[in-house]
Structure 1
């Protein structure tokens, strides 16, 4: 710039310099380079206006808005009994949610939500620009990114972009929310947006969506909400937990009144109706929290159903938690109630450590109709526990024997057997002498069935094979190889016939169901049908092939059933009500070498229901005794529970007969008992029992050479001979018995008669 002009002076002398005047300079305005100011303003305008608009436009072009229905939100699945009654709710980790259509939500509830959250919802473009500017200001100068969001923005935030609230992440989230909300408003109808919003928004008490909220606060379906109730739910959206009437009734009432006034403002409610509203009562939070908690035995059913869905069917956890499934099970409410009632009745007053498990299965389908694994919904499931089965396993030795041609009339000895120095005996010394294998099963003679097992072609391996084919699992959690002595799949030892190995209650019910179905195996299952919230059928058992698998020949299974039919009545009088035919077997397992009992079983069936009952203790380390201190056997508490369960489950159903068995080994079914000996007034002749010498058939195993034999006793020295047997005296010429001249000596033909 040019130098400042010289200062002026006053008049001076001739030729002398003038005097100094005041110095001048440029103002601050003169010093600004306005050209740069204009350029800066233009750049700022581009950054603050044009660039955001350009970015918004590009984002609008790029962003892909899902179609209605494509956004999967977590929601509750429901487990139903076979009649449609509810057993349990499967609540996802995100909380309780049940989707409903817009038509199911009353208009006054929709109006209340708009009055509370977005009064010009049906006319706005899906976003609030003032709300966005407020969020930007708060982000720059401090503050929360909240307030002013439309219903569309709230839905996008909850369903698509998350909830970052500060910093760059919060501003980016708000920008994404703005773009998606705007585009969604152009692609979705307002009703679709409102429906989706009302199905996802949180209302407190763990309830997501208006349908879950209606249950959580008023214990009623959303369709039944009145104006006051709908206004309260709408009021809760702003601060769900804090505005719960159970937490802050005054603030809840104030917000509720504000919503009702808003409904009047938008024309959704007349002033007269507004004044008529009364603040609605809500159910206690504790009651709401228990609505979706599965309790008691149903919790263990829920666990099995979920396992079956995830492990067997093509239904993953995401589907389970997002599609609002309705899962219909095979559980029969009548049978389930019978099992629960039986357990409650007979376990009352018993040792606190005593437990029972009950499983009932339909032999024709494999469907589990009753399931009781304990009373703790989240506790240990005894129906899935590996437990020694005792004599209830003898039926599989009978299966193997029949398969090898031994009919039910096959004779076995019941005298004690010594194995490796250990004597195998029967309970309380019971014996049948020598009797058929059906009778030995009825009496549960250990010695008879031990001998029978030794006569099988492969001994104990044949028993295990028959059990596995019938339905005893070859493995289950905690037991990699069942019925195996080495636990690695090797053969069992001889104790398998007496039930020394672990099996589950559900497997025993299944294996006996195979016998009830004449040898046809059906895999046990719980799930009958699965439908999602849109009505799409994901699985339907009725459309699957359920013909089963013939694992045991029909004639074998039917003969085993015939041998089992007398046992329920024989075991403490546990025949089913009304003379209904049944086939059953008890079992008792000892507690080590203490002489006390550890486990007790009753397993039995009709043609339409197979039920297994176990009774034991929590740890299996103490004697199993009833409330009076007496040992519990299979014919005791387990049979009581079994009979009560079966009678209750089958009450009102037709009485069915078992099929007539075909002949095996010369016997079709159980042989008729021999006729009783003729009665006589004469004392029986003296006799004595000769015990046969023992034979060692294998190292450490000895059995008698033959059954005990009864022979006439020899007369004592000097005693008169016994009177002759008339049948032993030869006849005379006339066909009559020849006369005798001394006791027992006949007269020769033609000889004179003896003197008188």
Structure 2
């Protein structure tokens, strides 16, 4: 017996010695072989997270985020204690006690391996997870675990516990592309960190163990059980009271999928910016480099553009009748929630219009099932417009009751109202664009490239090249002023036939009304958009000189037709080009180059790119004359450093064109704008192309130049009879400007000194006296004032080339 005990004792001592030797060898291997190969923990002091690209308005409101990882890094001080303590309770309750490696956790992990014959949970501290997440792979090997432990010990020597916890809470993956607690708070609850409840914090803290399996959006019951475990741990550790624990456990699950907290809807601009960033930095760096792009957009004006365009397109759709439901389900399925929701998945919301399935039809209303199970009432008065569409110009009889419009099972469009009702609507087939910029410097203030980006990402504001029609005439008239014409010059508005090889034979242009008015002053011709006058002007001043002149407004001569059809806007332009061209008139004659990027900041907030916006103003020009020696004693005026925009046309020309275009709005084809905006500083021009394929209104004040276009993406498709620029595009422009100019005082640019105003005879265009009963005032450049009308001659005299 004594011998057996001696043998056992020697065996134990031998095993202990062997263990000690093995442990010593392991430690030696760890510190002399593994440790030198590990990365330096000091690198954690300069961590660069993979952050998404953010696009903001000029005020800093979020427009869009791009990137696979949704992350919003926060400082430790910004993390509420209930959030950090929830993670500590769930992941590492001895975090503030151990040196980076917790022997209790290791023993639990070893026991699991022996019991289950596989690697499992229980061994990693928060510090070890930081080491793995920032430096190591996720492969489950003994070597990786050893490296993880060594790194954790080193990290604890370099960083404080608070710094380690900050790194962990910003890096950890929490499901649904959310990295870090701030992103998770937004993804699951649509709120910032400091607004999370204890129950919500516990739900997020339960996710690192299995972000997919425990996700509240995918597996709510498993997520609830995990939340209760975290709350129990918080109560056991004394992080929350018994009462707070009870309230949190009883709290309902409120997690939902929240999209990016977009504050300004401008997806077409966001896509423009995204492409620019990818071109500049490459796709990977653009999406993960944490760049923040401040655009020139102004939030309220962008919202006004979205509202105006959608309202205009919906109004156009109503004018042309109801095309019928988007789809149907069998009437017997109208009381099956699963069938209803399944049908609506194929019809996403567009432009504020929700898809709905009609579930009941009454005498004065219909009822429809919305996505998510809400049933709304659709009053019949909102259906009164829905006459059957038979063609673009023909509609059926007016409906007399809801059953004339819809039937049970129809999939229709509605616009939900705040009072719980919904208006009957239809998705418009026609498209459009609105773009507005500052005439002073070219900053784009609003841009909407279509009814809805998700339905069609084609950006019509900058990509659609369409014929501008009569909206192009002001450029021709400006060229005429430069060649000696005046607003009082008489041009004959009469039929004419041209034989032009470039136009393939004979061309018989006509006015829109089909009528002719004889000798017409140039101002009146622009006010009433007389086509034949514009053609005669272009023929007189010459096509080649005009092409060169149009380059001053930013148009490329090579893209312009080299024939007289140019006078009627037969060329192709984008809405942005038209708005930029009219800005030359609005700012007194300077050409501005539109852009949408104000500046780009990197992840550290450093400005890495700044937009250049030369200003259109005389005051911006350096005060020193060319060739004059600089006075070193004089302090530079701040304005000396502001680049000045290039002058495109003389100030007198711009003022006269603006004055005539204000008359277009006051009493011409653009007078509908006055019904929307009671302002006297509006100037602009309508445009309509053959067969009403394109409808335009382009206009401005000194503070904003904007273009509105409406048409079908199929350029051969007509909008329909009477769908002119005044009918289809002007209401869009006017509605937008009414919102965009709210609170902006009326103003006009000062009149240049070398302009004079005199009385003229409206019939002859010549100067007359105050005793003339029909005399009107007109403005001329000095040296271009017409001669005084003789008392004996009368008649129309002084017209260009004897009225052609």
Q: TM-score, normalised by structure 1?
A: 0.72
The answer to whether structure 1 residue 375 and structure 2 residue 375 are counterparts is: no
Q: Within 5 A, what are the aligned runs for 1:109-148?
A: 109-127=83-101, 143-144=118-119, 147-148=122-123
Match of 2:272 among 292, 304, 313: 304
Greater Cα shift, 141-150 or 229-238: 141-150
Q: Specify the alignment match of 1:471 in structure 2.
A: 554
1:149 match: 124
Q: Which residue of 447, 466, 475 corresponds with 1:387? A: 466
In structure 2, the residue matched to 1:222 is 193
Quick check: 1:438–1:670 contact (8 Å CA) kept in 2? Answer: no
Residues 86-117 of structure 1, C-alpha deviation per residue, up to 9 Å, x if partnerless? Answer: 4x2313123x2111111111112111101111
**Distance in structure 1 (CA, Å) of the matches to 2:576 and 2:732:** 16
Partner-residue secondary structure (3-state), 2:269: helix
Cα RMSD, aligned residues only: 3.9
* Alignment correspondent of 1:607: 702
Question: Given the superposition, is the C-alpha separation of residues 579 and 294 from structure 1 closer, same or farther in structure 2, using an over 3 Å criterion?
Answer: closer
Q: 1:407 aligns with which of 465, 474, 486?
A: 486
The match for 2:36 among 31, 53, 58 is 58
Instruction: Kindly state the Cα deviation for residue 275 of structure 1 after the two structures are TM-superposed.
Output: 4.2
In structure 1, what is the Cα distance between the partners aligned to 2:725 and 2:230?
Answer: 67
CA distance in 2, matches of 1:172, 1:68: 22
Structure whose alpha-carbon radius of gyration is higher: 1
Question: More deviation in 262-271 or 493-502?
Answer: 262-271
Q: Deviations over 1:556-608 (max 9, x none)?
A: 22222222221123116324322322221111122xxxxx2211111011111
1:652 aligns with 2:743: yes
Shift of 1:229: 2.2
What CA distance in whole angstroms lies between the structure 1 residues aligned with 2:802 and 2:161?
93
1:558 and 2:655 matched = yes
Specify whether residues 363 and 55 from structure 1 end up closer, same or farther in structure 2 by C-alpha distance, changes over 3 A only: same
Residue 405 (structure 2) aligns with: none
The answer as to whether partners of 1:201 and 1:208 remain within 8 angstroms in 2 is yes
Work out which of the residue numbers 563, 571, 575 in structure 1 matches 2:669: 571
Segments of structure 1 that go 5 or more residues without pairing to the other structure are: 1-36, 475-480, 486-491, 591-595, 680-688, 690-703, 709-756
Decide which of 268, 278, 284 is 2:239's aligned counterpart: 268
Give the match for residue 259 of structure 2.
290
The reply on whether 1:362 has 2:438 as its aligned counterpart is yes
Secondary structure of 1:635's aligned partner: helix
Secondary structure at the aligned position of 1:434 is classed as: strand
Per the TM alignment, residue 320 of structure 1 is displaced from its structure 2 partner at its CA by 4.9
Q: Per the alignment, in what secondary structure is the counterpart of residue 359 of structure 1?
A: strand
How far 1:613 moved relative to its partner? 0.8
Distance 1:81 1:633 in 2: 34
Q: Say whether the 8 Å CA contact 1:373–1:381 is kept in structure 2.
A: yes
Task: Give the equivalent residue in structure 2 for 1:513.
Answer: 583
1:445 aligned onto 2:562? no
Query: Is the contact made by 1:202 and 1:209 (CA closer than 8 Å) also made in structure 2?
Result: yes
Aligned residues: 611
Whole-angstrom distance in 1 between the partners of 2:758 and 2:430: 38
CA distance in 2, matches of 1:512, 1:670: 28
Residue number in structure 2 paired with 1:344: 310
Aligned counterpart for 2:49 among listed residues 73, 98, 101: 73
- Matches of 1:256 and 1:669, distance apart in 2: 84
- Report which stretch shifted further, 365-374 or 271-280: 271-280
What are the equivalent positions in structure 2 for 1:39-54 lying under 5 Å apart?
A: 50-54=28-32
- Deviation of 1:180 after TM superposition, in Å, equals 3.2
2:68 matched residue in structure 1: 93
Q: How does 1:357-756 map to 2 (within 5 A)?
A: 357-378=433-454, 379-384=457-462, 385-415=464-494, 416-420=496-500, 421-456=506-541, 459-472=542-555, 474=556, 483-484=559-560, 492-531=562-601, 534-538=604-608, 545=642, 547-569=644-666, 570-571=668-669, 573-576=671-674, 577-590=677-690, 596-625=691-720, 630-661=721-752, 673-674=762-763, 706-707=802-803
Quote the offset at 1:269 in angstroms. 3.3
Instruction: Please say if residues 190 and 258 of structure 2, whose CA atoms lie closer than 8 Å, have aligned partners that are also in contact.
Output: no
Question: After superposition, where does 1:30-41 map in structure 2 within 5 Å?
Answer: none
Q: Is the 8 A contact 2:316 2:728 kept in 1?
A: no
For residues 253 and 336 of structure 1, do their structure 2 counterparts lie closer, same or farther at Cα, with a shift above 3 Å needed? closer
Match of 2:249, SS?
A: coil
How do residues 154-233 of structure 1 correspond to structure 2 at under 5 angstroms? 154-165=129-140, 170=141, 173-233=144-204
Q: Identify unmatched segments of 5+ residues in structure 2.
A: 1-14, 318-427, 501-505, 615-641, 766-771, 775-794
Q: What TM-score results when the alignment is normalised by the length of structure 2?
A: 0.68
Deviation of 1:193 after TM superposition, in Å, equals 1.4
Residue 661 of structure 1, CA deviation: 4.8
Cα distance change of structure 1 residues 275 and 615 upon mapping to structure 2, 3 Å threshold: closer
State the SS of the aligned residue for 2:672: coil
Aligned residue in 2 for 1:102:
76
Identify if the C-alpha distance between structure 1 residues 417 and 152 changes in structure 2 by more than 3 Å, giving closer, same or farther.
Answer: farther
What is the distance in 1 between the residues matched to 2:534 and 2:572? 19
What secondary structure is seen at the aligned counterpart in 2 of 1:610?
Answer: strand
Is 1:68–1:192's contact at 8 Å kept on the other side of the alignment? no
